[in-house]
Amino acid sequence: MMEFLVYYLLGTFGLLIIYEIIKCCRGKECIGRFLNCGAVTLLVILIDSLRSVVELIVSHLTPYFIPQDVNPLWKKYGNWAVVTGCTDGIGKHYALELAQKNINIVLISRNIDKLKNVAEEIEKYGVKTKIIVADLSKGTEVYQHIEDELKDIPVGILVNNVGGQYDYPMPLCEVTLAKAWEIINLNVVTVTTLTRMLLPAMVARGQGAIVNISSGSEAQPLPLMTVYAATKAYTRSFTYAIREEYANKGIYVQHVSPLFVSTKLNSFSQRLVDGNILVPNAATYAKSAVYLLGRVSNTTGYWIHGIQYFFITLAPQWMRIMIGHRMNKDFRNEHFRNNKVTAQ
């Protein structure tokens, strides 16, 4: 109710200012100029509002009408890809999809047994693999080891997929500092450090692709997942900036912002784990997202997510924050019900 009142008062105040300006403009010419200025301003606002529609069409419809590129991904960017967070979910299936396109895969994760299993699965496609055991949640201490392991590999594609999330939605005071730093290390430090590590060699070769997996939660602050959403907003800003910086260096930078996907990251909700038409499984999602690699710069990665994202971002930010808060309260209550605990 307060938000509606604020918007009403601001709107009324704005109209009063416009009215006073018009009163001060005694001549028809002055009023005409003012109205022309208003028309231009309105046009700019409308164009900006239609931008989401254009991006939706470009990202999710036109790629299917573009002829297959005569140059495969390995030829355009290089025949080695690094994929983080690759032993489960989206990351694993990204690696599998890239392997089917004749790209060798470097797998980075903390569990040696899972890494070996995924490597065996990937090698069935006739490509090479390399595994690097590293716990990316630990921060900067692990990166010298990674750099040493990668020094002789011409990495052409970097998929920054690894991510950290709350165990379930909770207010900030319930988030331990250890968990907050884990999320920041996984979602911010990793994408920044690996990009900085591998980008110079890509620039020197004049080719390369960086794929940063963000989240639809980047679109607005998200109460009860405050730290997570803030890190994803960082990913978006970082991705857009480096794309502009290296636009003329032969580097393709893609920003991918999925909405809900049925993965372990969303295990706090059985509804999300079970999936539905709006919540695809990781294999379905990755197949679509990899198809869009090299075709568009910004995408949700999956057609139904693109439609959702469009309608979500039509709403003003305050409304998205309010709805997101209520949604996370619902997920929080579901988690406590399933675990027979009373929500605080």
- Residues labelled catalytic: 228
Q: Tokens 């893609």 identify what position?
A: 254
Q: How far apart are CA 302 and CA 293, in angstroms?
A: 12
Nearest CA among 301, 318, 329, 328 for reference residue 216: 301
**Is 315 strand, coil or helix?**
coil
- The answer to whether the beta carbons of residues 259 and 301 sit under 8 Å apart is no
Residue 211: which residues within 8 A CB-CB, separation 6 or more?
Answer: 157, 158, 159, 160, 161, 254, 256, 293
Q: Which amino acid is at 85?
A: G
Nearest CA among 51, 333, 3 for reference residue 168: 333
Name the region of 71 (left: φ>0; alpha: ψ -120 to 50; beta: rest).
beta
**Is 253 strand, coil or helix?**
strand
